[in-house]
Amino acid sequence: MKKISVYLLMTIIAAIMLYPLLWLLGASFKSNSEIFSSVWFIPKSIDLRIWKNAWETVTPYTMGHYFLNTFIIIIPKTFFSVISSVLVAYGFSRFDFPLKRFFSALLVTGMLMPAIVKIMPLYLLWRNIGFLDTYIPLVFPSVLAEESMFVFILIRFFNSIPREFDEAARIDGCGTLATLFRVLLPCIKPAVVSIAVFTFLWTMNDFLNPLIFIQSVEKYPLSLSIRLSVDSTGQNYEQCKIIAVSVIGLIPSVAVFALAQKKFVSGITAGGLSG
pLDDT in tens, 227-261: 777 655 455 567 777 888 888 888 888 888 778 77
Continuous segment of H or E residues that includes residue 197? helix 189-205
Please report which residue ranges of 96-178 form alpha helices under DSSP H: 100-112, 119-128, 136-139, 148-159, 164-171, 176-178
Answer yes or no: are the C-beta atoms of 64 and 234 closer than 8 Å.
no
Q: First vs last Cα of the chain: how many Å apart?
A: 39
Reduced to 3 states, what is the DSSP secondary structure of residue 42?
coil
- pLDDT tens readout for residues 43-75: 877 777 878 888 888 788 888 999 999 999 999
Model-level pTM?
0.83
Tens-place pLDDT, residues 170-209: 888 888 889 999 889 988 888 898 899 899 989 998 999 9
Residue 61 Cα distances to 88, 210, 230, angstroms: 40, 17, 16
SS (H, E, C) 206-237: CCHHHHHHCCCHHHCCHHHHHHHCCCCCCCCC
- In this predicted model, what pLDDT tens digit does every residue of 22-50 receive, in sequence order? 888 888 887 777 777 777 778 877 777 87
Q: For residues 226 and 254, give the distance between their C-alpha atoms in angstroms, rounded to a whole number.
A: 17
Question: What pLDDT shows up at residue 128?
Answer: 93
Contact (Cβ atoms closer than 8 angstroms) between residue 236 and residue 161: no
Question: Which residue in 95, 85, 99, 80 sits closest to 159, CA to CA?
Answer: 95
pLDDT in tens, 112-160: 888 888 888 999 999 999 999 999 999 999 999 888 889 988 998 898 8
